Amino acid sequence: MPHVMPTFDSLMNPLLEALFELGGSGSIDEIYEKIIEMQKIDDELASIPHNPEKSNLTEIGYRMAWARTYLKKYGFLENSNRGVWALTPLAREKRKINPKDVVKKVREADKEASRKKLRKTSREDEIELADNAEIDNDSWRENLYQLLTNEIAPDAFERLTQRLLRESGFIHVEVTGRTGDGGIDGKGIARIHGFMSFHVIFQCKKYQGSVSAGDIRDFRGAMVGRADKGLFITTGTFTPAAIKEATRDGAPPIDLVDGEHLAEKLKEFGLGIQTEMIEKVTVDKQWFRNL
């Protein structure tokens, strides 16, 4: 098992391999889990946080994000608004890349774009790319992460979870958090298309770091015989072992929602997240000509 943190460029070919294994496309979580599995990265290494004060990303997750960004600029990946990444026809044809070539070409293209922008705005100082620049304009995620982990109280986080589940279609959602109850914070009934329903017990954990397999086992022990499914929500992340434990064969299933997924859901339902759309005004010349 690797015990050395891989560089972002060394993750490029494993990322492509993971997508081929996934059938050509996959969510960020699916890609992450597949790379961890294929590269045999141990739990300890996979759990190292990137910057626990600002983000819930692990260091490997952060470097994978850079690998995706470079491969997209290189023409090997594309992504949708729903966070699904896919191989391009070029990637399917070539299958592998030389990481040094990718880094060189992308950085040269970015520098040229910066020079053009500087000339256009008549600025004289050239901006050099920095490896610690923000990825995918995700500053709002950092703000949300710091707010949830450092500023709101645990009971407020439980109420936020309750509201989120209701917005997602759950009914009879109750916050029941009691000390010594195995980490159970609440319960509710999930309804599917108005026909099917099942009882769910949930735990919501404000956390800076990774939830372990032991936490999942403790939660499952508390939920057995009391619900059809479990739901574990955290502002942090889950270790690879925790993810495997949640879907272990023969054990009651537990769905996992990490900080990234939580942020997306809050954004989707507009719970404390506002998305501003830029208005674009165009003139329909044909309309005027038809007067």
Task: Name residue, tokens 């939660």.
Answer: 219
Contacts of 41 (CB under 8 A, 6+ apart): 1, 2, 6, 35, 60, 240
Is a pLDDT exceeding 50 seen at residue 262? yes
Domain 142-268: which CATH number of 1.10.10.10, 3.30.565.10, 3.40.50.720, 3.40.1350.10: 3.40.1350.10
User: Would you place residue 136 in the very low, low, confident or very high pLDDT band (cuts 50, 70, 90)?
Assistant: very low
Is a pLDDT exceeding 90 seen at residue 67? yes
Structure letter (DSSP) for residue 58: B
User: Would you place residue 53 in the very low, low, confident or very high pLDDT band (cuts 50, 70, 90)?
Assistant: confident
CA distances from 257 to 22, 89, 140, 147, 254 (A): 21, 32, 18, 18, 10
Strands 25-27, 210-211: pairing kind:
unpaired
User: What mean pLDDT value characterizes the chain?
Assistant: 83
Query: Which token pair is 1?
Result: 């098992």
User: Would you place residue 133 in the very low, low, confident or very high pLDDT band (cuts 50, 70, 90)?
Assistant: very low
Give me the mean pLDDT over the 57-79 stretch: 92
**Distance (Å, whole) CA 203 – CA 105:** 46
Q: Which residue has the higher pLDDT, 135 or 204?
A: 204
Query: Where, residue-wise, is CATH 3.40.1350.10 in the chain?
Result: 142-268
Most confident of 14-28, 124-138, 168-182, 194-208: 14-28
For residue 182, give the nearest of 208, 229, 216, 153 by alpha carbon: 216
Is a pLDDT exceeding 60 seen at residue 259? yes
CB 271 within 8 A of CB 163: yes
Is a pLDDT exceeding 80 seen at residue 129? no
% of the chain exceeding 90 in pLDDT:
29
* Radius of gyration for the alpha carbons in the chain, expressed in angstroms and rounded: 22
CATH of domain 1-134: 1.10.10.10
Q: Which residue has the higher pLDDT, 256 or 49?
A: 256
Give me the mean pLDDT over the 258-274 stretch: 87
Give me the mean pLDDT over the 68-85 stretch: 87
Query: Where, residue-wise, is CATH 1.10.10.10 in the chain?
Result: 1-134
Task: Name residue, tokens 């032991």.
Answer: 214
Lowest-confidence segment of 179-183, 195-199, 220-224 by average pLDDT? 179-183
